Amino acid sequence: MNKFLYILLAFTILSSCSEYQKALKNEDIATKFKMGEDYYNEGKFAKANKLFAQIVPNYRGKPQAEKLMFLYSNSFFQMKDYYTAGYQFERFASSYPKSEKLEEASFLGSKSYYMLSPIYSKDQKETKEAIEKLQNFINLFPQSEYLSEANKLVKELDYKLEKKAFETAKQYNTISDFPASVKSFDNFMFNFPGSTLREEALYYRLDSAYKLAVNSVEYKNTINGVVHLKKERLEQAKEFSTAFKKAFANSKHLEEVNKMASTIDEELQKYSTKS
């Protein structure tokens, strides 16, 4: 019995392959469309896509073209060819602005760009492009059934940009480029004022400013005279420590912040003694 089922299964597969090969060679575009749609509905998107690709030029201007182009575009999405899917869905939206599938096609097109967004440690060009595409969709379809998912995707992408900016600033701290670290964290907090990484950003900004200050030279010469560079940096670090404690009074970093603040005060006291 098992042997019989195996033979029957093998015969069915071979027969199906034979039908598919015949369809590829068949010049009847209606047959290709029908079989391509059948494969599509069965979830065999690669086979459907190959058949659709053969007949897309033949259906331009015909009533069935709209349906074909949506199926063709979505077959790329289902095959995880997101570059082509995004392009094809945009073509669909441009070609059929009154289609009942316009909203779905626009969402899947923008989601294709989301799927191309890399991990945060890599260049975020695609992430920024995906945010732009999704935001355009949200603006065009504010009542869409896909609105909740679109907003969720934008939020994920925004966090990726936050994480990228945060880790870049933190890396400057790690390699002891403290001026760059302070500046980068300042930019981070300006660009992402509501970030969940704000506590860590304020802490590492303080840490960078503190290390920069305590390791500074006493003064520098300028055109207008002598500027106490170390004192200026200590005062900035003090401002940062005060801002941190005000914003995060129960932080896990509080003990370390208090130690830095104490050292800063001791160093600043030396200038009071001198004067």
What three-state secondary structure class fits 248? coil
What are the two backbone dihedrals, phi and then psi, of residue 243, each rounded to the nearest 5 degrees?
A: -65, -40
Q: What is the pLDDT of residue 270?
A: 86
Q: Residue 226 above 80 pLDDT? A: no
How far apart are alpha carbons 36 and 13 in whole angstroms? 17
Q: Residue 223 above 60 pLDDT? A: no
Confidence of residue 220 (pLDDT cuts 50, 70, 90): low
CB 172 within 8 A of CB 188: no
Q: What is the pLDDT of residue 262?
A: 97
Q: What is the pLDDT of residue 227?
A: 61
Average pLDDT on 154-161 reads: 97
Q: What is the pLDDT of residue 11?
A: 43
Average pLDDT on 123-130 reads: 97
Which amino acid belongs to residue 91?
R
Q: 2-25 and 29-41 are packed helices; what angle lies between their axes, rounded to 10 degrees?
A: 140
Which amino acid belongs to residue 269?
Q
Structure tokens belonging to residue 124: 């975020």
Among 23-27, 203-207, 234-238, name the one with the lowest average pLDDT.
23-27
Measure the CA dihedral 47/52/53/55, to 10°. Answer: 140
How far apart are alpha carbons 16 and 24 in whole angstroms? 12
The pTM of the full predicted model, rounded to 2 decimals, is 0.83
How far apart are alpha carbons 109 and 202 in whole angstroms? 38
List, for residues 186-218, the tens digit of each pLDDT value. Answer: 999 999 999 999 999 999 999 999 999 999 876
Considering Cα of 45, then 47, then 51, then 56, what sign does the dihedral take?
positive
Structure tokens belonging to residue 62: 């015909």
Q: Residue 103 above 50 pLDDT? A: yes
Confidence of residue 67 (pLDDT cuts 50, 70, 90): very high
Q: What is the pLDDT of residue 20?
A: 82
Which amino acid belongs to residue 217?
V
Q: What is the pLDDT of residue 26?
A: 78
Q: What is the pLDDT of residue 271?
A: 83
Output the average pLDDT for the chain. 91
List, for residues 245-273, the tens digit of each pLDDT value. Answer: 999 999 999 999 999 999 999 999 988 86
CB 165 within 8 A of CB 192: yes
Angle (CA) 193-196-200 rounded to 5° is 95
